[in-house]
């Protein structure tokens, strides 16, 4: 149901993104030990910081993932994908439990594409509310 609503929303902009509902996992200890600062209410910055740090640590197959989260309402959010697993880096701690929310992936950007985007847009981060993202979606 949520996926259909999101597809319909983006169709208003003339794009049909490949979307999928994904399960968010707690960050594994190997990533938490990097002790990257978290900006809890800015998932875009936190996800980018984690991704860039993981890239420096030679992690492979890492992506910046834009999507829509649903708790009590729908809101745009960024998470990271390492391999096949999705993580919300704004939720950290040894005994953390992820909130019971749904997350729908809309656009997954490899780390090198994120770096290129940031260079082209004066360190601005891609976000769901950014019209440049609609342009990216229409090109994929």
**pLDDT confidence of residue 83:** 94
**0.85 exceeded by the pTM?**
no
**pLDDT confidence of residue 14:** 78
SS3 of 70, please?
A: strand
**pLDDT confidence of residue 140:** 58
In the chain, count H helices and then E strands: 5, 6
Q: What is the pLDDT along the chain (140 residues), one digit of tens a residue?
A: 677 877 787 777 777 778 889 988 888 888 888 888 887 788 899 999 999 999 998 888 999 999 888 766 677 889 999 999 999 888 765 545 555 567 889 889 999 999 999 998 898 888 876 656 666 666 65
Q: How far is CA 95 from the centre of its chain?
A: 22
SS3 of 43, please?
A: helix
SS3 of 19, please?
A: coil
Find the DSSP H helices in 12-110.
Answer: 29-32, 43-56
């Amino acid at each position: 149901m949520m996926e259909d609503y999101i597809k319909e929303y983006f169709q208003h902009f003339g794009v049909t993104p490949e979307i999928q509902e994904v399960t968010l996992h707690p960050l594994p200890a190997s990533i938490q030990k990097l002790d990257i600062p978290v900006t809890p209410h800015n998932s875009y910055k936190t996800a980018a910081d984690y991704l860039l740090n993981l890239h420096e640590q030679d992690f492979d197959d890492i992506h910046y993932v834009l999507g829509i989260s649903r708790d009590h309402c729908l809101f745009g959010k960024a998470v990271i994908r390492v391999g096949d697993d999705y993580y919300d880096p704004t939720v950290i701690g040894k005994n953390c439990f992820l909130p019971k929310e749904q997350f729908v992936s809309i656009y997954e950007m490899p780390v090198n594409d994120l770096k290129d985007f940031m260079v082209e847009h004066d360190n601005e981060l891609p976000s769901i509310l950014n019209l440049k993202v609609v342009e990216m979606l229409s090109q994929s």
